[in-house]
Amino acid sequence: MLKEQSITQWNMLCSQHVFPFATHTSAQSIDIIKQHINTEPNAEVSLPSQHSKYTSFSSDIPLVAALVWHPELVEHCLNQGAVVPKNSQQWHADLLDVWILGTKHKTQSEIQMRASDFVHSLLLLRDAGYYFAEYKDPNSKNDRNRRLSFLHAMLWRLDANAYPEVLFSESVKHNIPVSEDFLTDINYLRKKVSNLCDQVEHYVLSSVIQQSVDQNKSAKRTSKL
């Protein structure tokens, strides 16, 4: 009962001061949420439209994950002791749900303006110990225990309406890892997310060119020696 009351309270606070995600939150609203975080940094909250086809199987998600459009609030949660797992497919799904709901009814230019805030929060979670790369338990011989990287999960979860190319582009700028499986699987989804495919091709080409430039610089330094 206490947990249900807490979630209800947080739902009311977030609906008033935080949601929808991709809009600017006032300084007063930030202060109000921070005051409540001080007493309950590990609270859970229900996302709006939690029964839509876009959301994960979990109806309640950690507050720190629900706030990722607002890095100032994520940082405050972490500073107050919010618990972050090392790696979790459910957290991958929760974070992507927040992205999806934040992009609904927004233009690409609006999302591009705020994408850096979202990824800033991802970096804060990474600094707190969350693992965005592909993960496999080193003590397990069962490959089914392998957990997808965050961007690989994004590939299968987001459709074109959620602007996955914007999230991908901003993520790789800040070294959110791209797994080899991602680069393989993107070929199967060209019709579904054509803009993302174009962005990935640009990423791969840029990486190859940069690698060639680095090798040439290294070769010149060696020849001078």
Residue 13 neighbours by CB under 8 Å, 6+ apart: 32, 33, 36
From 147, 144, 196, select the one nearest 188 (Cα to Cα).
196
Residue type present at position 49: S
Q: Is residue 216 very low, low, confident or very high in pLDDT (cuts 50, 70, 90)?
A: low
Residue 51, pLDDT score:
40
Range with the largest mean pLDDT of 56-65, 97-106, 161-170, 205-214? 161-170
Burial class (CB in 10 A: 0-12, 13-18, 19+), 119: buried
pLDDT score of 54: 41
Host domain of residue 74: 2-224
Number of domains in the chain: 1
Q: pTM, whole model, 2 decimals?
A: 0.85
Q: Which of 31, 120, 109 is nearest to 70 (CA)?
A: 120
* Burial of 141 from C-beta contacts in 10 A (0-12 / 13-18 / 19+): exposed
Q: Which residue has the tokens 């392998």?
A: 146
Classify residue 32 as exposed, middle or buried by CB count within 10 Å of its CB (0-12, 13-18, 19+).
middle
Spatial distance between the Cα atoms of 144 and 201, rounded to a whole number of angstroms: 29
CA 125 to chain centre: 9
* pLDDT, position 53: 43
User: Do 202 and 183 meet the contact criterion of CB atoms below 8 Å apart?
Assistant: no
Q: How confident is the model at residue 58 (pLDDT cuts 50, 70, 90)?
A: very low
Residue 13 has pLDDT above 80, yes or no: yes
